[in-house]
């Protein structure tokens, strides 16, 4: 038996709906903007939305914080988030297959008494 994990559109759209519903039911306090999620495999579109949707607003917010005499923090936070996302790219964009052939072979040689014992 083979287990396959792939990126399916139905899972992605379900996740997007869940995020939207969760935010509607439980709004965050003191947020600057509404949380959202966007999935794409196109690097150009990803970089565009990263710049337009996160980096430019982060620099703007940091500028406002500096004008208020506070420490800027949004650009640094944004960079940390995107570094984390970049780290996960390998695992989310590749196809993964797992098999349980060893488990099936082990179960085939086990006695009926051993099969009844649960660990």
Tens digit of each residue's pLDDT (9 = 90 or more) over 5-23: 444 555 555 666 676 677 6
Express each pLDDT in 74-112 by its tens digit: 999 999 988 998 888 888 778 888 888 998 898 889 888
Structural domain contains residue 51: yes
Which structural domain range is residue 80 located in?
7-35+42-93
Burial bucket for residue 97 (CB in 10 Å: 0-12, 13-18, 19+): exposed
Q: Is 26 a residue whose pLDDT tops 60?
A: yes
Structural domain contains residue 50: yes
Count of domains for the chain:
1
Could you tell me the pTM of the whole model?
0.57
The structure tokens listed for 47 are 């970089």
C-alpha torsion angle, residues 42, 45, 49, 51 (rounded to 10): 100
* Nearest in space to 34 (alpha carbons), one of 26, 42, 44: 26
């Amino acid at each position: 038996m083979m287990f396959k994990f792939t990126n399916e559109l139905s899972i992605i759209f379900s996740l997007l709906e869940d995020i939207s519903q969760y935010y509607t039911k439980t709004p965050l306090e003191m947020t600057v903007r509404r949380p959202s999620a966007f999935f794409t495999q196109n690097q150009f579109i990803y970089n565009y939305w990263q710049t337009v949707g996160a980096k430019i607003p982060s620099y703007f917010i940091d500028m406002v914080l500096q004008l208020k005499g506070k420490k800027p923090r949004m650009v640094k936070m944004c960079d940390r988030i995107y570094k984390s996302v970049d780290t996960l790219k390998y695992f989310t964009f590749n196809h993964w297959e797992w098999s349980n052939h060893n488990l099936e072979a082990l179960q085939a040689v086990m006695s009926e008494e051993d099969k009844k014992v649960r660990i």
